Every structure is written in structure tokens, then in C-alpha cells.
Structure 1
Amino acid sequence: MRRFESYGVLITGAGRGIGEATARRLAAEGAHVLVTDLDEDRAEKAAAGIRESGGVAEALACDVADSTSVDAAVAYAVQRFGSLDTLVNNAYSCHPDAPLFEDESDEIWQRDLDITLTGAYRCARAALPHLAAAPDGRGAIVSIGSVNGEQDFGNHAYSAAKAGLAGLTRTLAGHAAPRGVRVNLVAPGTVRTDAWAGRDDALARAAEYYPLGRVGHPDDIAAAVAFLASRDASWITGVTLPVDGGILTGRTGLRRALRGE
């Protein structure tokens, strides 16, 4: 199925992980994908892999903390593909918490919010006029949130940014709907990406707490993004879709403890 034939798509933070998997998935379904990343070499490597598989992809360095860089990326996508039909906000920043909350720094807090939340705001602001001009109701924004924005899984600044991104999704959906643009968010649980490199033991322990018995893979999230970006979801906007192996259904560890396991 090629649900994105000739779509112009821009994905942030797409040099690896969830962003790269999403770029591959949408390109495989016919999209022309602009792979953006802070690391231009990483973006080009991901785009080259798509082209080797027969897809259409280009690469561009983009810093979502810089409005000029964001505006340039959106303009480049429109110029190269003729339109911009889908924006995927995937870029994020996540720093570990200080041992005590009072030791958290303004710099870490601001960095996580500026990349994760305000970066998505900058991208949506630049892209929205083009998405509204997309034909046949194709215009869509899909942001990558997190279960951290829904419950406590640690990381104060990152979690606050992801919760804010869910809020922005709802308010922007209401604004953009009359303009023919849908806005949704995917909230992943723990996903095996490079961020977990060298921590296989931690992932194995985490898997025990997921009702479906495993942590996620980037392709799990890419599939959900593809659905929400496609016209299969033409009557869906303003939602947060958990793709989390069931972790938000409840605290399975507590249930086991109460059973004496």
C-alpha cells in the first residue's frame, strides 16, 4: 500500500531511531521525505539508506532551536518536493535528573523544553501555511510525545516538555481543523534506540513491566505515525495515541507485588 504517493514530508531528528524508522516507513509508502537532523552526516546516511531501497529522500541539517534553521528546512522541502503535506515532530532533548530536584539547573530545564516543545512549535508554525495548502485534506502534523507526558516515569524537564507537547497538539488541532490540517501525537513507551546503547540489562528489566512482554522497536512507532498521517485517520485530530505495550494500563509491578510474586 502506498498511502503517501508524492507526499512531501519533513521529519525532524530523523537521522536515527524513531525518526529514521518513520522516514523509511513513509518513503516506502511513496512519500518524498526530507530527513532533517542536527547532525547533517547522520541525516545524509539515513536518506542514502532510503534511496538505496528505492525511496525518495533528501537530507538537511536543521536545528529546531533556531527559527531561521527551521524556516529554511520548511522552505527547502517545499522547493524540492513541490508541496509539504506532512510534518513529523520527532526531535527531542532529554537530560538525566539531578539526584535532588533543587539541584536541577535552569540550563538543563530550558534545553529540554526548547528542543522538545518549543522546537515542535517552531516547526508547526513554519509548516502550517503549507500544510493548509495541501490538496485533498492531506495536511497533517504528527508529533512524537511520550508516556512520560502522561504518568511519572522520571525526567522532570523532558516529561514536562512532552506533556506540553500533548497540550499543544490539542490546541493546535482546534485551530488547524478549519484549515484542513489534522494534528495528532503518538506517545511511545520504552523503545529500543541508540539512546539505550549498552543498557540491554535495563531494557530486559523494563520489558518485565510491560503487559505485552517487551519494549518497543522504532518500527512500532513508525507504523502509528504512518496511520495518523494518512487519510485512514481522516476523522481523527487532537488525540494522543499511546503506543506503549500497555504500560499505561496500570502498574503491573504493584499487581505482582500484591499477588506475592
Structure 2
Amino acid sequence: MTERFDGYGVVVTGAARGIGEATARRFAAEGAGVLIADLDGVAASRTAAAIRADGGRAEAVRCDVAERASVDAAIARAVDVFGTLDVLVNNAYSCGEHHDDFTLESDEEWQRDLDVTLSGAMRCSRAALPHLMNAPRRRGAIVNIGSVNGLSYFGNHSYSAAKAGLVSLTRTLAVHAAPDGVRVNLVAPGTIRTPAWAGREEILTKAAGSYPLGRIGEPTDIAAAVAFLASRDAAWITGVTLPVDGGILNSNSGFTDALAAE
């Protein structure tokens, strides 16, 4: 594989498992030094060790994106270890329980989802931007991990609101950072096979039939899109939301199934 990120320093939040882990592995495989930042410091260390065992460069840090001091320390660690910070991937999120009855939403669930998913991305971007603006050859980039939930209805009110806010933050930061050569984009995944679905595999099997491409996504599908948007291959792309969703945003299987049942 071509090492598009040779010499890069990359921070991926929520990188101990799932999409974050696959993304960190992709960057490391293409030559980057990757900081595995995760609330679960033990799991982060385990992932970083696995990447090093495969010949990549990776370090781990426990990071709570809901706390400014924790975020600032993680970004500083990346710069110290790798000597540069070129890419930030805002992947950490919180997703509370879905309530069919919106009146059951608690202030605590709502606030937690927004504080981690949306405000966490803000904190990380705020800390990283001064370094990204100094990245050589104007290669600084932020890639936010959104969701189809932020673009259409798939349940989980607070999580969806946070992901929708991340779409807006992507656009405004893209314009703000463009004069300094920093690009900001967002990948919006559909249903992805991650540890969050552990014990509920039958739901994934059922969900696959709703996707035009006939399957749910894998973490590597998202990692590939993130790597593209962070690379110089996307040098003239900023402020975009890229659905990586197996076509589900273009389908209306419920409506067509209802017609077929007539």
C-alpha cells in the first residue's frame, strides 16, 4: 500500500475499537504515527500495541473529550511524540437509549450525547487547529465522523441532534480554517458492524436487507473514506458531508414494501 501519510502525525479519538480502531490502523498502514485517544485507556494501549506489533507507529493516551484539560493534554502528547500534527479524526461519541416517547428523554442523556459527540469534536478541533495550521505543505485536515442519523430519521434523538450539529460545525470550520490550508470534512456512516452491536447481531442481519447494496458496513469501509478525505488526493475538497451508507439515504424500502404488498 502506498504510504500517503509518511511523516504525518494523526490523532484519532475513540480509537480503541470499532471505526476508530480501523481508522487508526489504516493511517498507520499508510505511514502515519497515530495517537490512539480513548476514554478507555487500557483498551487504547492494547490497540496501540497491536499496531506496533504489525510494524506501525502508535501511542496511546486516555482522553475524555468532555474535559478540556484532557483534550489539550492529548493533542500536546501527539505533537511531542510525532513532532507534528497533521490530521485530527473526531470519532468519539455518546449515544444514549432511544425513546419512542420523546417526553422520556432526560436532560442528562441529552447533555451527555451533545457534550461528547458535538462539543467533544469542538474541543479537539480547537486544541488541534493551531498545529494543523502549521502542518507542512498545507496538509492539515480534520475529518469528523458523523452519521446518517444527522441527515435523516433513524431514531436516537439526542445522538441524531449531536451528529446534525457536527455537520454544521464541519461547514463553518471549513470556511474558518481554509485560509490556513486546513480542510475540514465529515463522513456519515450508515449501520456499521462494531462492538456497539455486540449481542444484537440478529438486528444487523435484519438491517442488511434495508440497504440497497445488500449488507451493512464494516469499520474498514469508513476508514477508507476517512483516509481519502485526509489525504492530498482530496486536496480541493473541504466542507463536505460524505455519506458512506450502502445507499440507504437514497432508498425508501418501507414505502416500496408497502406498495409491493398491495
The normalised TM-score by structure 2 is 0.98
Q: Which amino acid aligns with 2:154?
A: F
Unaligned runs of 5+ in 2: none
Match of 1:196 in 2: 197
Please state if 1:158 is matched with 2:159.
yes
Check conservation: 2:38, 2:62, Cα contact below 8 A. yes
Unaligned runs of 5+ in 1: none
Q: Which amino acid aligns with 2:86?
A: D
The alpha-carbon deviation at position 257 of structure 1 amounts to 2.4
The alpha-carbon deviation at position 97 of structure 1 amounts to 2.2
The alpha-carbon deviation at position 100 of structure 1 amounts to 1.6
Q: Secondary structure at the match of 2:216?
A: coil
Match of 1:74 in 2: 75
| C-alpha distance after superposition, 1:66-99 (max 9, x if no partner) | 0000000001100110010000000000011234
Distance in 2 (alpha carbons) for counterparts of 1:57 and 1:6: 13
Match of 1:175 in 2: 176
Match of 2:46 in 1: 45
Q: Which amino acid aligns with 2:246?
A: G
Q: Secondary structure at the match of 1:87?
A: strand
Q: Which amino acid aligns with 2:166?
A: L
Please state if 1:31 is matched with 2:13.
no
Please state if 1:100 is matched with 2:101.
yes
The normalised TM-score by structure 1 is 0.99
Distance in 2 (alpha carbons) for counterparts of 1:251 and 1:91: 29
The alpha-carbon deviation at position 21 of structure 1 amounts to 0.2
Distance in 2 (alpha carbons) for counterparts of 1:244 and 1:97: 21
Identity over aligned pairs, percent: 69
Please state if 1:253 is matched with 2:238.
no
Please state if 1:63 is matched with 2:64.
yes
Q: Secondary structure at the match of 2:236?
A: coil
Q: Which amino acid aligns with 1:92?
A: Y
Match of 2:136 in 1: 135
| C-alpha distance after superposition, 1:97-144 (max 9, x if no partner) | 234211211000000000000000000000000000000121000010
Check conservation: 2:99, 2:156, Cα contact below 8 A. no
| C-alpha distance after superposition, 1:172-206 (max 9, x if no partner) | 00000001100000000000000100111100110
- 1:106-125 alignment to 2 at 5 Å? 106-125=107-126
| C-alpha distance after superposition, 1:190-243 (max 9, x if no partner) | 000001001111001100000000000000000000000000000000000000
Distance in 2 (alpha carbons) for counterparts of 1:250 and 1:212: 11
Q: Which amino acid aligns with 1:160?
A: A
The alpha-carbon deviation at position 258 of structure 1 amounts to 1.1
Match of 1:90 in 2: 91
Q: Which amino acid aligns with 2:57?
A: V
Check conservation: 2:212, 2:248, Cα contact below 8 A. yes
Check conservation: 2:141, 2:183, Cα contact below 8 A. yes
The alpha-carbon deviation at position 250 of structure 1 amounts to 2.1
| C-alpha distance after superposition, 1:153-179 (max 9, x if no partner) | 000000000000000000000000001
Distance in 1 (alpha carbons) for counterparts of 2:258 and 2:3: 47
Check conservation: 2:36, 2:59, Cα contact below 8 A. yes
| C-alpha distance after superposition, 1:32-64 (max 9, x if no partner) | 000010010000111011001100000000000
Distance in 2 (alpha carbons) for counterparts of 1:141 and 1:187: 14
Please state if 1:218 is matched with 2:219.
yes
Q: Secondary structure at the match of 1:186?
A: strand
Calculate the aligned-residue CA RMSD, in Å.
Answer: 0.9
Check conservation: 2:212, 2:251, Cα contact below 8 A. no
Q: Which amino acid aligns with 2:256?
A: R
Distance in 2 (alpha carbons) for counterparts of 1:14 and 1:102: 33
